[in-house]
Each structure stands twice: as C-alpha cells, then as structure tokens.
Amino acid sequence: MCGISGWIDWKKDLSNQQEVLKKMTDVITHRGPDAEGFWFSKNAAFGHRRLIVIAPEGGRQPMVYCQDGFTIALTYNGELYNYRELRQELEAKGHAFTSLSDTEVLLHAYLEWEESCVKHFNGIFAFAIWDERKSQLMLCRDHLGVKPLFYTETEDGVIFGSEIKVLLAHPSVQAIIDQEGLAEIFGLGPMRTPGNGIFKNIKEIRAGHYATFTAHTRTLKPYWQLQSRQHTDDVETTVETIRTLLEDTVKHQLISDKPLVSMLSGGLDSSGLTAIAGQEYREKGETLQTYSINFAHDEQDFEEDFLRRDRDEPWVQKVSAHVGTTHHSIVLNAEDLAANLYAPMRARDLPGIGELETSLYLLFTEMKKHATVALSGESADEVFSGYPWFHQAQFLEAGTFPWLVNLGFVSGILKEEWQERLQLKAYQRRRYQEALLEVPHLDHEDEWHRKQRQMSYMFITRFLPFMLDRKDRASMMTGFEVRVPFCDYRLVEYLWNVPHELKSIDDIEKGILRRALKGYLPDDVRYRRKSAYPSTKDQDYLKAVSQMMLNVLDDHESPLLQFVKVDRLLRIAQGEDQEITGAKAKQLLDYLLQVNAWLKEYNIVVQI
C-alpha cells in the first residue's frame, strides 16, 4: 500500500516544480514510510510514497514506460490480487516484465487495453496514469472504493492525491467550505455523499469509476455497477458459491512479502476469515497471529444496546483456541481514547465518529509493531444484510438513510439561523432521493423486496464508503495495510441478487454466510447474534470529552461557536440536558469536538 500525488498542467512547465510536488507528497509519508519517488515531465508531475508489501526490489514508483518515443507514467496505491494470472495473460500477448511486482502488471495492462484495463483487475487500488501519446490523465478507483483518490480541477489542469491533505498542500488550493459542505458536515456527518470532498472544488473519484482529463475534455465513467437479475441458484448452490468465493478471495489476499495477521472480534465475519486463513497457515506449518480490541473495565462496564448484544472478548478467546492462532488482545483505557481523539480526524482530513475511530487507530498502532498487513471483515454486514436496520420496519419505511433515524440529533444543536440557511432535512431528503434513483430495481419485484434492495444499495454505496475510509485512514496513518476480503467485487455482485429471505435463512441475519462457514467454526460461534464494533462504556471517557467541550466553549475563538447553540451544548457537556445524555451525549461531543478542531487546524474559510 502506498500514497500517491500528482499535478497536471497543459500550459505550465512542471519540470522544475520539485519543491511543490515534494511538499504534496511529504504530507502522506505515513502512507508509505519505506520509500519515496518523483517523476517530472513538461505537463505532468507524479509523486509516490511506498509501503513495501510485495516485490521489495521491483515495485518502485512512479513507474515509467517509453513507447514509440512517448512516455506512459504510473503512480499507484493498492494491490492487484489477480496480478499473477494477469501477468501470464499479458506475457502470452507478448509483454515482457522486468520485476515480480503488481505495479508493472498494472502498467502493462494499460498498455494492452488502455482505459478498459480496469475491467481486468481484481483488487483494491487507486491509480493515476499520464499517457503522453494522448496528453491525457487517467484517474481510477477500485470497485468498492477501498482505496481513496481525491482531485481538484484548476484552470489549466488537475491536482490529485490519496488524501485531501495532498491537495491542500498545493499553493493554489484553499481550504474553503461552502453551504453544501456545511450541509454535508452537519446534515450527513461522516457518511458523506459519494464523490463529494466536502472542501469547495475538491472531489473524489467514486468507487467503480474512472476519469480521464485532456486539455479540452473531461469524462467520468463507471466501469462497474451493481446489476439486478433473478437469482436462480438453489440454497445448496448459493452456499457453495459463497464458500468457494470466500476461500479463493482469502487465499489470494494472503499473498504478502511482509508479516500478515488477522483482526478477530469474535463475530461471524472476522471469525470466518480467521478460520479460513488459519487453515491456509496450518497447511504451511505456520501459526496465524490475531488481534482484538478491548477496553479497561469492560467486563463490569458493558451494557447491551441497539447494536451490541454482548462482550466480544470471551468469543475472541474461543475462536482463537479453535483455529489455533496466537492471539493478542489490545486493552485501551479512557485516557488513551481521549488523548488521541483528533488523530483520526487528521488522518481523514474530516470529522469522524470519535472513539470508534480512535480505538481502531490505536489498535493499528500496536499491530504495526509486529506486522505490515492484516485481514478485516469490513463489508460483510453491508452485502449480507446483517445490520439490525435491515430487519426492522421502522427503518425500511423511514424515507431517509436508516442511520440518520437515530443519529440526526446533531442538526438540532445548530443556531436557528444556520438551521434556516442550511435546510438540513431538505438536504438529507435530496441526497436520499438521488440515491434512490440510482438503485437498479428488478422488474416485477414486490414492494418488500424493493425496499430490501434499496436498503442494500444505501449501505453498499453510502454507509460502506465511510467504513472503508475509516479503516483505510486509521491503518495507513500508522503505515499499516488492511485487506477486506468481503469487498471482493465478485462476492458483492453475486450477493446483490440473493433474496433477503435467503440471506437470512434459518431466521437469523447473515444465515446464508453462517451456513457457508460450517466446518470452519463451532456452531455457537456461527450462530452468535450480530454485535457491532465495540464502544467504550467507561464513564471516565464521557467525563473527559465533556471537559474538553467545556474548554472549547470557554474559548471565544473556537470556530464551532459560530454554528451552535452554546447554552444547549453547555448543558449537555455539564450533564444537565434532559434529552441528550449518556451514549448520545458522547457521540455528539465526540463529533463536535472534531468539527471544532478541524475548522481550526485546517484554517478553513467558511464561504456562504
């Protein structure tokens, strides 16, 4: 995994812009602490930071190929899991390789198929290609959007990078937020609209899309989309197909020249991946290392809530013993979480969900001490319809993004003038209706199945991108790569058409996955009910963030104060509000503290 940066200008000579490009690339050193590289031509400048995972000697970037007197340059972040198969196919077509890296395979795939090359890839990736023959820049992102890629257009060119901070490091890009950006921040929160970079004029390549830019043309095209069709496989075939795809995906994603471990929560998703990977390791005579997160005093503090039924730790130990892993439980306390609250915000360049991101960042910090790569169960709930929201009528009938039903209280803290100006309810409805129009419905589908398909689409295209952002930035901030087998596009497109009642067979969420993992896990683990990523229940954490907010409110220069009802927020921080208390107060304070720090640290200009 790596970080990429670049700048195209069709009028300005960039061959002497080393200082600017180095500054842009240096801000993502964390994404690639092992090496750096730069390439310049008259109209293009590419930067690269490398985290070595595959082919230490052969994957140096930017990678350049000269053909008929013209140059094709590549800067690339990610992994092609099918690069060995692709290499064989390209060699049969006459291509010669000088390294064992997937980077060279990607470049030669472009030489063979140009923009259509992406239809041959299976992996997680974000890349830029400058084709001097066409004087064209191509930007592309993987099917599900696991790897990030942002860009902004200038009068005569394009500036791009793995993270927003790359663009902001360029002297011509300002940190401005306009009315739409504020509506995203206060109306949608971290689950932003796909393609929206929040900052004015900053955009993101959407998952499954590529863009091409020349001096006179701009195109943005999808190369992969969910397609609805009748599911004709019977139960046994469906189970076997899922099992076969998972086994193949995990096997490919275990390829690494650096130490690889697995995340293990004791839930179905991570336990299943751990069991499959553990078997592969045993066959090689090796032992898989696993990691989980736990909180100090969790045994006495734990309380069941809407998303969390029971504690993870007992299940973690059971799965580890069953699979035969060497397990490491990372224990965090309230002080750790509060002290690092802003680290994920700085990693994502945007406010996030507080301690749920902070704990992940601290977990990766510990894992990086012993490994470079990990497997994670992200996206299983989205594609197998595992979240509680899928199974309750109030969310299916909500007429908005289901997660906003319980998380829409941020907007009520805004001053009346901002509520009137931003019209957040209307903004949420508009974005929801836009998403509805994208859903590829199946002809003659009844209303209940239509709503389940809509719910799946919302989670895959609106909720999952945030979860992947969270995982990518928290891991890459520590120079650590996380792979997500459930995001294999073959599995996602297959499950898209599996009916909800089949996904939930045996009257339990993700029942079809539970059947597919038979033989890999004990039955009580396979049929453990869904329990979400853990959240601390330690009251010391709520006290800590409450005090942090009191400090913000006491500072008249805090940029947050221009937006919020100070008296109401003061009551919440003091624990005196009647409506927003406990977990709700923690969520709100976590988020608004980050909004304040983000506005301040990034010197954001509010432009309405």
- Report the binding-site residues: 102, 293, 376-377
Q: Read off the tokens for 414.
A: 């805004």
Q: What are phi and psi of 399, to 5 degrees?
A: 75, 20
Dist. CA 22–CA 43, nearest whole Å: 16
Dist. CA 565–CA 128, nearest whole Å: 44
**97 Cβ neighbours under 8 A, 6+ residues apart:** 87, 90, 91, 104, 105, 108
Asked whether the bond before 56 is cis by omega within 30 degrees of 0, the reply is no
Pairing of strands 289-295, 260-263: parallel
H/E element, 140: strand 136-141
Please give the radius of gyration of the chain, using alpha carbons only, rounded to the nearest integer: 24
Q: Is 2 tagged catalytic?
A: yes
Pairing of strands 605-606, 176-177: parallel
**93 Cβ neighbours under 8 A, 6+ residues apart:** 112
In the β-sheet with 44-50, what is the strand arrangement from edge to edge? 35-40, 44-50, 2-9, 157-161, 150-153, 203-204
Dist. CA 97–CA 161, nearest whole Å: 27
Dist. CA 193–CA 492, nearest whole Å: 21
Other Cβ atoms within 10 Å of 440 Cβ, number: 12
Dist. CA 64–CA 72, nearest whole Å: 6
**315 Cβ neighbours under 8 A, 6+ residues apart:** 265, 266, 267, 271, 525, 528
- Are 149 and 155 in contact, with CB atoms under 8 Å apart? no
Q: Read off the tokens for 435.
A: 């998403």
Q: Length of the chain in residues, anyone?
A: 608
Exposure string of 122-153, with b = 16+ CB inside 10 Å and e = fewer, is: bbbbbbbbbbbeebbbbbbbbbbbbbbbbbbe
Helix runs in 349-503, H state only = 355-367, 380-383, 393-396, 402-407, 416-422, 424-438, 447-458, 464-476, 489-495, 500-503
Dist. CA 135–CA 132, nearest whole Å: 5
Helix runs in 263-375, H state only = 268-283, 298-301, 313-323, 334-339, 343-348, 355-367
Exposure string of 296-328, with b = 16+ CB inside 10 Å and e = fewer, is: eebeeebeeeeebeebbbebbebbbebbebebb
Q: Show binding-site residues for L-glutamine.
A: 102
- Are 78 and 142 in contact, with CB atoms under 8 Å apart? yes
Dist. CA 477–CA 475, nearest whole Å: 5
Dist. CA 486–CA 246, nearest whole Å: 8
Q: Which residues are identified as catalytic?
A: 2
